[in-house]
A and B are shown apart, each in its own frame.
Chain A
Amino acid sequence: MADPSASYLGKTLIEEISPVVMVLGTPLVEDSSRKNGLSFVDTLRPFSLFHDIDVPVRTASDQPYRLHKFKLRLHYASEIHQPDVEASEEHLKNVVTRASDVDTSDLRSDPPQIDSLLEAAESESLPSWFQIFNKELIHIASFSEHEAFDHPVACLLVVSSKDEQPINKFVELFDTNQLPSLLSDSIMDPKILKHYLLLHDNQDGALETDIKMLTEMRSTFGSNECRLLTINSAEDGSTDWQDNPWIPHKIDASISQDLGCLLNMDDINEMKNFMQDLASKHIIPHMEQKIRVLNQQVSATRKGFRNQIKNLWWRKGKEDAPETSSGQMYAFNSIESQMRVLGDYAFMLRDYELALSNYRLLSTDYKLDKAWKRYAGVQEMMGLAFFMLDQSKKDVEYCMENALSTYLKLGSSGQRNVTRCGLWWTEILKARDQYKEAAGVYFRISNEEPSLQAAVMLEQASYCYLLSKPPMLRKYGFHLVLAGNRYYISEQRKHAIRAYRSATSVYKGNAWSFINDHVHYHIGKWYSFIEIFDVALQHLLEVVACSHQSVATQELFLKDFLQTVQKLGKAFEVFSMQLPVINIPSLKVLFEDQRTYGSVGAVNIKESLWKCLEEDMIPLLPAARTNWLESQPKLSKNLKDSNICVAGEPIRVEIEFRNPLKIPISVSGASLICQLSAEPESVESAVVNQADNNVDGNSSATVFQNDSELIKLKRSWEQDAGSSFVLSEVDFSLGGSETTVIQFVVTPKVEGILNIVGVRWKLSDSVIGYHSFDTTVLKKKTVKGRRRGGQYAKSPLKFTVIKSLPKLECCIHHLPSKAYAGELHRLVLELKNRSKFPIKNMKMKISDPRFLNAGSLDDMKIEFPICLEKRINSKESIVQPNDVEGSNGLLFSFPEDCVIEGETTFTWPLWLHTSTTGRISLYMSIYYEMENSSNDIRYRTLRTQYDLEVLPSLDMSVHVAPCPSRLQEFLVRMDVTNRSSSESFLLHQFSSVGHNWEISSLPPDGAVHPSQMLTAGQALSCFFKLKKCNDLASEGMPSSTTLHGSDVRLGPHDSEKALFDISRAPLANFHSYERLDQGKSIQGSSNVDFILISQLKQNASAASDPPRLFSHHSCHHRQESKSLIHLLVVGYNGVQETFSHEGCIIVLPIVLRNMHDACVIVVIDQAASQVDVRGTALPSNGNVWNPVKNPREITQGTDGHSDICISFSPPYTQTLTNAIWGSSTPGHLQLEDNSMTRSGSRTTTLTPNTYKASRRVIAWFYHPSHGNWKRPNLARKARFVTINNLN
């Protein structure tokens, strides 16, 4: 380690532990020196410090050495006593306050960064007032009687030359009863070195008298103890000092008049010389002398083994002496006091060895005497001596620890010494770079101190932690916080803030949010105390949005924040305030360009759904669009990078607000911030863009960044007053940690480029928060309403406002929200055109034509449901069922001639048929073009969406079976169940669809289900006869396009209720869609569809309103049957025949019907027909007839002949001779599926009789698809043929 005396502590010790000179002066002395604005002592003080006095000294053991730096401490006798506590406290307080005024000038600047602090610490640029403060603190403990280095070594008596009889004055000046207590009550040796000074004020005439007086003095007091000093020899106030020697010594720098104005160079030099002589010629030799004397005594009485023993024994002897820590028991002539004086003098003359040896002896004595205070004082001095001798750390620490703890034990009496001792110690440790330990000591003594001193101690401790290697930042911060608290307690707010601010740099950005919040919160509060509100708010903002704190804390923070804002007086504006938190990714922009939305529901539908709905309705798809963009180059540019919106039409922005706190907050006047610039390349937009880039650039928004952002937002907010657009203001309040989506509306009024820059809101009416939309976030996500034109670059918040366009609004009248399945409604679509301009060729696309269908205008003429009823003059209904192929919805184009003029409304009928149950949402998009084809939007679409819930009502199932007796007739069973919960229905009519079918009730004249009622849950089956009218008739007209069918009235015959015409538009259309929906192909006339029409039974109350009509469709029924082929042999009951010529010829028609839907080849077999009904086997002469051919051969087209053999057998005869055969039909005949054919068989007979003609048909049926033959399937029919003879 370097030379200890070079260290800071060394210097201070040399200054602080130095001989005291007691000054006694007459009032006149003071007067003359006051002329310079200085007391006499102050006048001399600058010259009491000698940088190189260079005095030769000899130690007690005669080693010569030279003193260089030396100091005398001048004090008035009146000052030489223990300073009283209050005064010193006050004094310290002033020091600190002054420091705070000096030191906290930069309260508005940013808090220091940690690294800057570190290097500041390296360069020792700690607050300089610490040293002053410490000095003052040390001075408090001065002039205690238990240590001798504060005891005056010499006494300087000063008398002005104007005093009369100065000799007497000198004498009475040193009058014992006004001497300080130290001398008076014999704590120190009253025989003290005296020095007599005669002060001459040059302004009071010449020197002669003074010279005389001096000689007189010399004669009385001895020659070399007397001296004459001349001052004020300068002409009035002429001299002013470049570097005034007195300034540094005036701590309370209240320079009323310029100091030492009357002193000129000669005076200065004289004073210098005087002091020099005083020190070197008198005081030092005196001390040296005294050291020698005392040393001899001490060594005589105490050194050596004998003395030690004696001393010990003697002390044992006075064990029972009164136990006291005060020094009365040690008079100045007691050996202990002398040793102490010896030690202190030696110390002051830098003879540390000597001092140390004496201290050692003393400490043991004091310890034995339990004179703790003195013991501690000696230990303290030992420690210092060790330090100055650069002894081992251990000794120093031991001694200081001893001293400190002993002082501590003493309690209040030792308190000041604790502080001083502690300060010494810390200085020692610092000098040895043991900063951590120093901090510890600081901390210890801080506990003993009133809050102010404690604060300063703690702060010094914190700096020690900062300086320790490696720096212990956390402790640094912690102690700063402690210090800050103490400062605050002792009303040193600025200091408190300073401490906390330096602490923030430690806690900045780490996760210790509790501490961070606490620090910021208090800084904020204290700033607001000293009324620097803006900074206060900066800090409060840090904590106001803390989500992790407890509810109470959050409330407290918020309350103080708001109070501060109110104190601020003006509106406080924050950029990107976190209260509430804005969830930018949740931002949704809803606007209308070509696409306008009729309902909220419609907005939220996926764009793709609309696209595929509209695809064959909209002429211009993106490809086409680029074309017409090219046609308008001037627009193409900014259309690419922005969305189009229409002046006068609102743009909706939805943002999610989240309340981070657990307590409710209220937000008012929230609205968007927008910029509307006339021409595309305007300044604002440019600014915005580049600002956006900034935001993109560094997400870590610095303060400056924020400010610039804030400025920009504010400007754009203020400038929008220019009513180029209208903003909506929203007030809402968020509960604890609640999240809501707020919708903002901006409505541009003029054309131009609209930029939505950000959002602005008021937190509980005092704080205005700004938040700018960082567009990069949004570019990522696809925002609703954005054209998926592959233009990903464009920002969703930039709009090209074009001049206002007509916009249709649509509503559908009496659309039920709840309906029963199969219910049929007539709705009215009403289109409003609020604009001036007419709207032409409109088209409409409906998502699900099964449910919704466009009617025709004349549906409106008659009211529903009469319009559906059959009318006598039933002309062919106009409407052809629409082409049902367009599977994704129905495209309906309004007639060419219908144009919606400006400010008119337009109505069109729609038909609703709820075919299935459940929740159904219908999408409808209406396309229209503007009369004034504005340059960039020529058409628009209006998208609407409706939800309705369909409840179950009736469900109908139909079962068709062939009629056994008739080929062309079928039995139809209709099962209907009422599935509705409560309602009951009236069945009205049951219709079969199609020309070639005719349905009739069964029995023909019977009434089907006379009470039409079908109550809830009831099931019912009705039977009908379905007749197929001959195909030939239906060949004529194309069937199944127009649905002419036949109806059966359900219920009583005589009900005059008109039937409904199922061939009219809505029913027909819906039916065709039902067909489509119920699957299979529509071709195949043999499939039959049925429609059940019913009505809702109205209870008496609702009797007035029109009946609710239901139609249930069930399609594609075919008639099942067991057998494949129906064969019918038409027989005769009797044939009249005269057997005039050879036999009679009977033609037996056979009707064959193929029930199968594949081509069938039928072979009529005669071989199998040998069997008699009666079971009598016929002689097997069947082989006479050519046998049945192998069907394969048949198909291979060998002679395609087979005979039908009718075996006639007379009832009671076995002979067959009287029968002659002859018959021929095409042996195998091909039956198309579901077709019929007739073939005949002709036979002849000779004798009248009753014959049985039995037939067996073998059907080989053949699938063209897979060319193999299926197993034959037999059908047998028999008829009796009776042939009577006529004669």
Chain B
Amino acid sequence: MGREVSESCVDNLIIEMVSAYCNRFYESKPDLAARRIEAIGYQVGLQLSERYTMERPRFTDHLEAIKFICKDFWSEVFKKQIDNLKTNHRGTFVLQDNRFRWLTRMSVDTNQTNTDSSLDTAENKETQSASMHLYFPCGIIRGALTSLGIPCAVSADMSNLPACSFVVRIKG
């Protein structure tokens, strides 16, 4: 099948991409950076889903597609499956990954200098940077689902690192 690259390379690449977009290209406007990163993820998702859905019957409904994302797609990309899938049966799915690979390398600075202000600033700085790292996977999910004919919006939120959950809202 395809050639393989070392995992650390991919990790570094992603980290570098995120930092490049956040700190170099669009330093002033993080939302724009987020959009760009998400767009990159989108295209990656398009192409990956194209590849990973080979040799499998077409999905009849949304749930199947989402399951595909949770199981095969996720394990293709992250070598593990989504840990928990919730839905409200009205087009909203919550995919929870208790140990999201791309957040595992992310260190939470424990021995914070202990004035509250600096602490929480550090906290939300770190969360902010982490959320930047989550735009890419969001884009991937959106791209994959869109290419499967399911237009949707994907957002992510981190409860506590390295767990995070992706919320998929299917449009229409």
Q: A–B direct touch, CB within 8 Å, in complex? A: no
Which residues of A approach B to under 8 Å, CB–CB? none
Which residues of B approach A to under 8 Å, CB–CB? none
